[in-house]
Chain A
Amino acid sequence: MKRTMAFAKRNLIEVFRDPLSWIFCIAFPIVMLIIMSIVNSAIPKEAGNTLFRIDNLAGGIAIFGQMFIMLFTAIAVAKDRSGAFLTRLYSSPMKSGDFVWGYILPMLLTAVIQVIVSLVAAVVISLISDYSLSIAGLLLAVVAVIPSALMFSSIGFLFGTFFNEKAAPGLCSIIISLGAMIGGIWFDVEGVGGFMYKLGRCLPFLYATKLARAAITLNFGVKEFLLPLGVVVFAAIVLTVLAGIVFNSRMRADQR
């Protein structure tokens, strides 16, 4: 545990001292929140489009922001693997679990800070746009998106373990684009239907968005909250275990 925390502290410092982390993890989601709120204000009420209304938008942006956590996890792991820093640590008493949680824990903390900042910005926007958000819903959302933060961190960890410093960010960008589309962040995937919706139902991104939105609006329906919660928690557990197994086998392969 001591070694996990020491490594997590090192990774947290690395993330916080990188200006790109602040831009992509904190500033970018807020900017998107503001831009999409402006777009929403331009949509006539008669259109009946509620996707960019602040209660829906805030949940979508929270998940969109977490996708950048995935990107940063992948970069951190791939960067360390490309240099000699991990070589030093492989010959220290650190075990594979120390590495996995040492990378994931700081990213979870960053994700929690990110969602709090995004939701505070959402509250400000809701006050300006005269739409009230439930404080209980916002607090629930902070907790409800932790499983998806773990899921995205684990995906990033896997990409960083499999691919090098150049390939990992590119592949994560594909996941960000794909995840945002089929995750229903920027348009109503259910409404579009067809292949897009079928694909969305097979992957955890749509469920993550639904869960965040349901938490904010305190909608505890099975389809809106419980099923997405189950899917996201399951995906997070599977991907985290997979990340541990893959990293362990990579460590062993490196030692052959």
Chain B
Amino acid sequence: MGYAIRTENLIKRYKDKTAVAGLTLTVNEGELIALLGVNGAGKTTTVKMLTCLTKPTEGRAEIMGCDVVKDSENVKRLVGVSPQDTSVAENLTVKENLEFMADICLPKEKSAAAVEKTIKAFSLEEFKDKKAKLLSGGYKRKLSIAMAIIGDPKVLFLDEPTLGLDVLARRQLWREIEALKKNMTIILTTHYMEEAQALADRIVIMNEGKVMAIGTLEELENMTGRKGLEDVFISIAEKTA
């Protein structure tokens, strides 16, 4: 199994603030990695650099062997992004939103089949003719993720996918994400411990732009001598405070 993502000393500075301070990370193909941290930890900036939305100040990053700066056109064909804010076309129906993304990301002959497949995979049949602005928060997020995967990306970035959702909608979305794990590499940012614990193969704990720890839950528990991700996180956060 090869690497889906490799970063070496990735740094992002905004004037006097360092948002990401030397991220070195390797993600295997098919892995689900959770970037865990409080607000301002550098999770979203990391996702932005890896999806060509912002350029690194220093260091390098590759997606499936393609450099995010020098080969951004290819990187954009390889990734799917579901941004933190719900990013759907409000006046378009669910089906029209998916058709739009399929037309952008896929050859014409594959679009229609991809739309039908995605509607089915995300159980959106009942809502496919409903305007996006009329969907509940949970279904909007579901649609946002469906739009991110319709182009059949190799690497999927989910930035705080369940932020602000109620517990039922969150659990439902977890099931959708679980189902996607088989087909692609996923980078998920979250500040919900239970989300990282439930979904991730490995967890990256970030604080103030730095990676504080990387590993499976078991490895992190052994590292800190604590049980459960919340205690592990607190232990690491307190050490670095």
Kindly state the separation between the CA atoms of A41 and B83 in the bound complex, as whole angstroms.
Answer: 58
Contact yes or no, B96 A13, CB < 8 A = yes
A2-B103, A13-B91, A83-B85 known; A90-B108 Cβ under 8 A: no
Report the separation of the CA atoms of residues A84 and B159 in the bound assembly, to the nearest whole angstrom: 12
CB proximity of A81 to chain B, nearest CB, Å = 12
| A-chain residues with CB within 8 Å of residue B84 when the two chains form the complex | 84
Are B79 and A91 neighbours in the complex by a CB distance under 8 Å?
yes
Interface members, chain B 89-139 (any A CB < 8 Å): 89, 91-92, 96, 100-101, 103-105, 108, 131
B38 to chain A, nearest CB (A): 21
A23 to chain B, nearest CB (A): 16
- Cβ of B51 under 8 Å from chain A: yes
Q: Tell me, rounded to whole Å, the shortest Cβ–Cβ distance linking A255 to chain B.
A: 5
- From B26-34, B52-60, B182-190, B217-225, the one touching the partner chain is B52-60
Question: B53 to A7, Cβ gap below 8 A?
Answer: no
In the assembled complex, the CB of B55 is this many whole angstroms from the nearest CB of chain A, namely 6
- Main DSSP-derived SS at the A contact region: helix
* A5: min CB distance to chain B, Å: 8
Taking a contact as CB atoms closer than 8 A, the residue among A6, A18, A89 that contacts B103 in the complex is A6
Q: How far is the CA of A91 from the CA of B48 in the complex (A)?
A: 9
Nearest A residue (CB) for B101: A92
Contact, CB under 8 Å: B77 / A84: no
| Chain B residue nearest to A6 in the complex (CB) | B103
Contact of A93 among B76, B82, B85, B147 (CB under 8 A): B76
Beta-carbon contact of B104 and A87 below 8 Å: no
Is B86 interfacial (CB 8 A cutoff)? Answer: yes
Q: Which residues of A contact B89 (CB under 8 A)?
A: 10, 13-14, 85
Interface size of A in residues (CB-CB distance below 8 Å): 25
- Asked if A88 is at the interface of the complex by the 8 Å CB criterion, the answer is yes
Please tell me if the beta carbons of B51 and A10 are within 8 angstroms of each other in the complex: no
Count residues of chain B with CB under 8 A from any CB of chain A: 31
Complex-state Cα separation, A49 to B102, whole angstroms: 57
Contact assessment for B100 and A88 in the assembled complex, using a CB-CB cutoff below 8 Å: no
Contact of A91 among B81, B85, B88, B91 (CB under 8 A): B81
B87, CB-defined interface residue at 8 Å:
yes
Q: Is B91 a contact partner of A84 (Cβ separation < 8 A)?
A: no
Give complex CA distance A14, B108 in Å.
22
Cβ-defined contact, B105 with A91, below 8 A: no
A85 touches B88 (CB 8 A): yes
A256 is an interface residue with CB less than 8 A from chain B: yes
Instruction: Give the residues in chain B near A256, CB-CB below 8 Å.
Output: 54-55
Measured between beta carbons, the chain A residues less than 8 angstroms from B85 are 83-84, 87
A161, chain B: closest CB distance, angstroms: 18
A9 contacts chain B at the CB level, 8 A cutoff: yes
CB nearest neighbor in A for B89: A10
